[in-house]
Amino acid sequence: MPKRKMNNEILGILYMVIAQFSFATNDALVKYIYQSFDELAVLNQIIFLRGICCLIFIGIFLSIKNQFNLRIIFSSNKLTLRGILEALAAVGFFIGVAKLPFAMVYILLSLAPIIMTTFGALFLNEKVKWKRWSAVLIGFTGVVIVINPAELKFGYYFIFPLLSAIFLSIRDLVTKNIKTEHNSLQIAFITCLVVTIFFGVLSIYKFYSFNLEQSIILIISAFFLSFGYIFSVLTIKAALVSVTSTFRYTAILWGILYGYFFFNETPEYNTYLGAVMIVISGLIIIMRQKQLGKFNNENWV
C-alpha cells in the first residue's frame, strides 16, 4: 500500500474517532442539563437552543470555506425529508439518553446497520445471503440480551433508541444515492436546521429558564456537535468510508466511559455481552458491504 494512502487512512480513522467523541460529549452535556430539570419536555428547548448555536458555528465554517449558499442548501426536498427523519430519530434518541444508561443508548442505536440490511432485503429487493442474515440474527439476539426482558430494569424506555435506529435506517433508505451538488457540511447544515425548527415547535409547549452554568454548557454542547459534523466531513475527505466505518463503534466506548465517570453508571454483564454481539454483527455486515462496494462517501454525514 502506498505510504500516502496509508497515512490518509490513519488520518481518516483518527478523524472518525474524534467525531464520535465529539458527538458523545455533546450528548453527555445534554443529559447533564436534563438532569437539572428531570422533565422530558426540557429536551425540546435544549435541542432547539443547541441547534441555533450549532447552525451559527456551521454557518461560520461554511462562510470561511465560501460554501454558504442558501439557494443551493435549500434546493433539495429529499434533504428536507432527511432532516425530518433525523428529527424523529432525535426524539427517540434523547428520550433514551434521559431515561436509560448512557452506554445502553449507543449500544441499541448501533442496531441501525442491521436494520438497514433487513429493510434493504424486505423493501428494496436487495439480495441478502446467509452470512448477512446470520449477522442480523446475531445482532437482534444481542439486543434481547442487552434489554434483558426477564427484568426490564428500565421499563420500556429501551423502545425509544430502537425507534431512533429505525428512523435513521429509513432516512438512509429514502436518501440513498442522492444526486446532489451539496457537499457533506451543507447536508449537515440543512439537517441541523430542520431538526432545530422541529424541536423549536415542540418547545412552545413549555418554557424553561436556564441559569448561567446551564447556558454555557449548552453552548459548549453545540460546539461539540458542530465539531462532530466537521470531523465527519474531514473523515470523508481523508479516507474511504469502507476504511473508517468500523470506527463508528467507538461511540459505545465513549458512552461507557461517560456513563461510568459522569453519571455513576456501571454496565451489567448482559450489556457487555449484548454489545459485543451487536458490534460483531455490524462488522460482518460492514465487511460484506465493502465486498459489494456499497459505500457512498458523499451521503455519509
Tell me the per-residue pLDDT of 253-276, one tens digit each, with 9 for 90 and over: 999 999 999 999 988 899 999 999
**Structure letter (DSSP) for residue 289:** H
For 206-233, write each residue's pLDDT tens digit.
Answer: 889 999 999 999 999 999 999 998 898 8
* Helix-helix angle 102-109:77-99, to 10 degrees: 140
E strand or H helix at 281, and its extent? helix 269-292
Q: Under a CB-based contact definition with an 8 Å cutoff, are residues 84 and 194 in contact?
A: yes
Q: Which structural domain, as residue segments, surrounds residue 238?
A: 3-299
User: Between helices 3-37 and 250-262, what is the axis angle to 10°?
Assistant: 40
20, pLDDT greater than 80: yes
- If one counts the domains in the chain, the total is 1
User: Hey, what amino acid is at 212?
Assistant: L
Q: In sequence order, which residues have a C-beta less than 8 Å from that of residue 2 and are 6 or more positions away?
A: none
pLDDT at position 296, please?
Answer: 54
Which pTM value belongs to this model?
0.88
Exposure string of 138-153, with b = 16+ CB inside 10 Å and e = fewer, is: bbbebbebbbeeeeee
The answer to whether residues 282 and 249 touch, using CB atoms and an 8 Å cutoff, is yes
125-153 pLDDT, tens per residue?
777 777 778 888 898 899 999 988 877 78
